[in-house]
Amino acid sequence: MKMDYIDIFSGCGGLAYGLQQSGWEALFAIEKSQDAFSTLENNVLYKVKKTWPTWLEYASNDINDICRTYKKELRKYRGKVMLVAGGPPCQGFSSAGQRKESDVRNKLVDSYLEFVDLIKPQMIFFENVRGFTMPFTISENEQKCYSDYIVEQLKKRKYRVDFKIINFSDFGVPQSRNRFILFASKKGKPLDFFQFLYDGRETFLKQRDLEQYVSVQDAISDLMLKNGKGVCPDSKGFFAGKYGIVSSKYQRYMRKNTVRDMPDSHRFAKHRKETEKRFKKMISEEECNKNLSKILLEKYGVKKNCISILDKNLASPTITTHPDDHIHYKEPRILTVREYARLQSFPDNFEFKGKYTTGGKRRKIEVPRYTQVGNAIPPLFAEQVGIALKKYMQKYAITDDNVKDN
């Protein structure tokens, strides 16, 4: 069975890694950020260089440039691609941000549709934040909802479409992360894809000796600062943490193919003594997994709109792109990139590239490691998506021949 796809808006490769683990083969990928592309190349794309088209530079690329410059080359893929997967940037839709309809990144939904028009894949997998389903007020008498818009546009293109809001914590990911998931196909009933996805959870997790619901402590307790620290190998003047004893099935699975004694991207922040003192007080006195109120933020002298303390006994709240949105449940510090990655289900042998952090106006052009992780689709969920897609293809006998017929 042919299981090839094109990955667009790839980010650092959470979706691509999961699909690859489930047997899918990428033909090529499109990602604008050089930082994210470096991580993607290091962990996923090095395996697919043989399928990379000669006309496309093996580097970071902008989807609008690709669609404008290589229309002829892209049309040659018609009848040869089973799946287009990915989702445009979520910042303009996210309730965690400023959420503006005028955000230029929202227009990338049309870029997604243009790419679909050029390739005409048999199936489409699309992901975005929950806010994608929330309407924008354009004027007093007009609203625009992008989820309705993309469903309408795909149906005009003769796709059968269904979507759901899915919480990744229901799929073995130690994070309560609700996302808009859309599946479209030229054949069959798209609702069946979601049925395969939900029905396959128990077997998938059991085969890997994993639990369905994983707490923060289950996910990251072996990454504590108390385990010891050493010189950070990729950041001068910083310390990085060492591994502790494995204390959960999830930790064992995450460390399965790792031989190093110091996890990748496990660099500790440099907190001032007064900051550590403030965090200790917050950990001992405040409610976990809940953003501190404005009054409490002022009480602790925190100049942020939101910050929360993780609850060790629950899945974490949604991981964002900001390194200081969450405080460790026990140690007075923010989380490391590796701890973020664990909460996103990236295995420990997945190595991140680029800067750790950025700030100010540079946030609009740079994609450091925290941002790469925070924007990603959890690989553990993506692998289950890949398996469900395969089952859908089998049920509706979607083969190379009927791809070419469309």
Q: Return the H-helix or E-strand segment holding 25.
A: strand 25-30
pLDDT given for residue 310 in this prediction: 98
**What integer is the mean pLDDT of 33-40?**
96
Q: What φ, ψ does residue 37 adopt, rounded to 5°? A: -65, -35
Residue 152 has pLDDT above 90, yes or no: yes
Residue 340 has pLDDT above 70, yes or no: yes
Complete DSSP assignment for 43-105: HTGGG-GGGS-TTS-SS---HHHHHHH-HHHHHTTTTT-SEEEE----TTT-TTS---TT-GG
Q: Where are the domains of the chain?
A: 4-210+379-404
Q: How confident is the model at residue 70 (pLDDT cuts 50, 70, 90)?
A: very high
| Chain mean position to CA 18 | 10
Residue 403 has pLDDT above 80, yes or no: no
pLDDT given for residue 140 in this prediction: 61
Token pair, residue 205, equals 């997790």
Residue range 384-394, pLDDT digits in tens: 999 999 999 99
pLDDT given for residue 145 in this prediction: 83
Q: What is the CATH number of domain 4-210+379-404?
A: 3.40.50.150
* Distance (Å, whole) CA 390 – CA 20: 12
**What integer is the mean pLDDT of 214-225?**
98
The SS3 of residue 180 is: strand
pLDDT given for residue 303 in this prediction: 83
Q: Return the H-helix or E-strand segment holding 307.
A: none
Complete DSSP assignment for 233-258: TTSTT-EEE------SHHHHHHTTT-
Residue range 296-329, pLDDT digits in tens: 999 998 888 889 999 999 999 999 999 999 999 9
Average pLDDT, the chain: 92
* Distance (Å, whole) CA 378 – CA 175: 10
Integer angstrom CA distances of residue 213 from 17, 162, 168: 22, 26, 10
Do residues 128 and 156 lie in contact, with contact meaning Cβ atoms separated by under 8 Å?
A: no
How many C-beta atoms surround the C-beta of residue 235 within 10 A? 14
Do residues 354 and 341 lie in contact, with contact meaning Cβ atoms separated by under 8 Å?
A: no
* Distance (Å, whole) CA 91 – CA 95: 9
Do residues 122 and 403 lie in contact, with contact meaning Cβ atoms separated by under 8 Å?
A: yes
